[in-house]
Amino acid sequence: MNQRASGRWVIFLSFFVAYLLAIVPFPEWAMNYRPQWVAMVLIYWAMALPYRVGIGFAWTAGLMMDILEGSLLGLNALALAIIAYITLSLHQRLRMFSSLQQSGVVLALIGLHLMMTHWMKIATEQAVASSLLFLLGALSSAFIWPWMFVLLRQMRRSFGVR
Amino acid sequence: MSLEYRVAAFVVLSVAVMFADSRFDYLDRVRYSLGFLTAPVYWVADTPARISYWIDDVFVSHGDLIEENERLREELLFAQRELQLLAGLATENSRLRALQEASASVDGRVLTAEIINISSSPGSRRVLINRGATDGVLEGQALLDAHGLMGQVVEVLPFTSWVMLITDSRHGTPVQVNRNGERAIARGSRGDIPELELEYVPDTSDIEVGDLLVSSGLGQRFPKDYPVAEVISVVHDRGQPFARIRARPLAQMDRTRHVMLLALSADDSQRIGPSSAAPVWLDTNQQFSSTSIVDQIEEQIDELSAQPHEEVVNPAPESVGLDSPMPSEVADTVPEAPTGQE
């Protein structure tokens, strides 16, 4: 059993859990606070293993998200590809950051992700323009980031994903 | 290849895919196949709910069961009594229809389903049900619960389907007031509260708080005479050209899990295809805008006037058994309704 194969298993599992969390029903009032799990997991892997989780991977992950959400094909794919691009170009700096600084970057990235999907949904008439409260999801994502980072790093180390 | 080129390539690819998906139906096959991959995610996500239902079923006391059994038997008795009445009405109805040479279109076949997920994006109100193409679900089928109309199927995947609820802001339901046959289009509200708004209803129309709205069957997506909503507020504002009427859906959108899918009758299923001639105002791919809806209503009126006369008056015999005035009154008001909507 080589390490490459076992590593892939860990990455897929983390994405599977992220998809699950992304579609688990939330109460109506908490809808806006829903963290963007898939985007966060993607940011982590793109930062930790930039040579394995690249833009193509992000695009495919986004396509799956589109199917899960029932939204237009390519919408989440585009947003996640851009998020992956920014993360990849920043990954060396991101690794040096303290967890607070990382949270700040995650806040900006998830905010951008939410804005992009929102704009695209409005442009393709899948949603109507509403308040900007949906951006609260970026705040909750940034809040959860430090714990998620530690958890995923632990997973990556103990399973030897490289 | 550098990062910039790669991201540019994927951006172009995404835009192409989005364009293709929104304009053409080449990608429906891709979507359908990818549905096999996403099915396990839904299955796992639904596990807690299934387990809790299972526990409810298994760990229930004998006394509770007897009690429930008794209650159900009582309900069945009530339902059967109503059914007896309905049987009489149905024969009367079909006789009257036969007199008018109109075709009977009420089809009672249903498929039970369960809601297994709700849409996670705040802007849309959609639910996922556990029936898909393998169960024979078709796009356009209506979803009901025990209390009223819930929505229609907008996307069919192998084992699941997405249903757009009637409270989605992009969904319009053709309704009529059960009391007097006044027609309107009920659109999902844009706000946070899942409600319906009646659009373009003239100030002079006779709609009151407490009126029952039933599906009018125009648009040929939803069957006729299913309860849809109850009017909860009517505001006449002199500064506005139309009355502002809000209604609360009767279906228990956020509480129920068990729902019914209504089978399309044979000729309907042909009509539902993407290239169908079904009236456009129920085509959920279209955004309702204030300009287009007027066109759509005009189209509807054109269609109505093009139809033979008995089509227009056929609500009359159907509503005999319901809480409505005499058939003659209904027949009087119905042909006037289109001009009122204009």
Q: How many beta-carbon contacts under 8 Å exist across A and B?
A: 119
Token pair belonging to B48: 């807690």
**pLDDT digits over B242-286, tens only?**
888 999 999 888 778 888 888 765 444 443 333 333 333 333 333
Nearest residue in A to B164, CA atom: A70
State phi, psi for B164 to the nearest 5 degrees: -85, 125
> How many CB atoms lie under 10 A from the CB of residue B153?
25
Coil, strand or helix: which one is B329?
A: helix
Chain B CB contacts of A78 below 8 Å: 10-11, 14-15, 18
> How many CB atoms lie under 10 A from the CB of residue B248?
15
Amino acid, single-letter form, for residue B192: D
In a mutational test of the A interface, the residue from B2, B4, B10 whose CB has the highest number of chain A CBs within 10 Å is: B10
- Dump the DSSP string for B22-56: HH-STTHHHHHHHHHHHHHHHHHHTHHHHHHHHHH
B69 to each of A5, B72, B75, how far by Cα in Å? 55, 5, 10
Instruction: Tell whether A1 lies on the interface with B, counting CB pairs under 8 A.
Output: no
Distance from CA of A98 to the nearest CA of B (A): 26
pLDDT per residue rounded down to tens, chain B (342 residues) = 688 898 999 999 999 988 888 888 778 888 888 888 888 888 888 888 888 888 888 887 888 889 989 999 999 988 888 888 888 888 787 777 776 665 444 456 778 888 888 877 766 788 999 888 888 888 888 998 888 899 999 888 888 899 999 998 888 999 999 888 888 999 988 777 788 999 888 888 888 899 999 988 888 888 888 889 999 999 988 888 888 899 999 988 877 888 888 876 544 444 333 333 333 333 333 333 444 455 555 566 666 555 544 443 344 444 433 444 444 433 443 344 344 333
Q: Which residues contact B234 (CB under 8 A, 6 or more apart)?
A: B207, B208, B209, B243, B244, B245
pLDDT for position B329: 39
Chain B CB contacts of A121 below 8 Å: 121, 123
**pLDDT digits over B308-337, tens only?**
444 433 444 444 334 444 444 334 433 443
Distance from CA of B322 to the nearest CA of A (A): 35
State the Rg of chain A over Cα.
Answer: 15
- CB-CB contact of B258 with B114 (8 Å): yes
Q: Which of A67, A72, A120 sits opposite B35 (nearest CB)?
A: A67
Token pair belonging to A82: 């851009």
The answer to whether the CB atoms of A77 and B17 lie below 8 A apart is yes
Q: Which of B14, B122, B124 sits opposite A32 (nearest CB)?
A: B122
Distance from C-alpha of B62 to C-alpha of A102, rounded to nearest angstrom: 57
Instruction: Tell whether A16 lies on the interface with B, counting CB pairs under 8 A.
Output: yes
pLDDT for position A111: 94
Nearest residue in A to B169, CA atom: A128
pLDDT per residue rounded down to tens, chain A (162 residues) = 444 556 788 899 999 999 988 888 777 777 788 899 999 999 999 999 888 888 999 999 999 998 888 888 889 999 999 999 999 999 999 999 998 999 999 999 999 999 998 888 888 877 777 778 888 889 999 999 999 999 999 999 888 887
- Closest by CA to B200, choosing from B225, B221, B183, B215, is B183
Domain ranges of chain A: 3-158
Q: Strands B196-202 and B183-188: what pairing? A: antiparallel
Distance from C-alpha of A116 to C-alpha of A133, rounded to nearest angstrom: 15
The answer to whether the CB atoms of A16 and B13 lie below 8 A apart is no
The answer to whether the CB atoms of B121 and A71 lie below 8 A apart is yes
Distance from C-alpha of B102 to C-alpha of A102, rounded to nearest angstrom: 69
pLDDT for position A69: 83
Coil, strand or helix: which one is B299?
A: helix
Find the helix or strand (DSSP H, E) in which B143 lies: strand B142-144
Chain A CB contacts of B14 below 8 Å: 59, 62, 74-75, 77-78, 81
Token pair belonging to B4: 């910039």
The answer to whether the CB atoms of B192 and A56 lie below 8 A apart is no
What's chain A look like in SS3?
CCHHHHHHHHHHHHHHHHHHHHHCCCCHHHHHHCCCHHHHHHHHHHHHCCCCCCHHHHHHHHHHHHHHHCCCCCHHHHHHHHHHHHHHHHHHHHHHCCHHHHHHHHHHHHHHHHHHHHHHHHHCCCCCCCCHHHHHHHHHHHHHHHHHHHHHHHHHHHCCCC
Distance from CA of B96 to the nearest CA of A (A): 44
Burial B8-19 (b: 16+ CB within 10 A, else e): eebbebbeebbe
Nearest residue in B to A66, CA atom: B31
pLDDT for position B294: 52
Amino acid, single-letter form, for residue B43: W
Distance from C-alpha of B4 to C-alpha of B148, rounded to nearest angstrom: 53
Chain A CB contacts of B287 below 8 Å: 125
Distance from C-alpha of B139 to C-alpha of B134, rounded to nearest angstrom: 13
**Neighbouring-strand partners of residue B5:** none
Task: Supply the mean pLDDT for chain B.
Answer: 75
Nearest residue in B to A87, CA atom: B3
Residues 111-140 in A contacting B (C-alpha not used; CB under 8 Å):
118, 120-121, 124-128, 130, 133-134
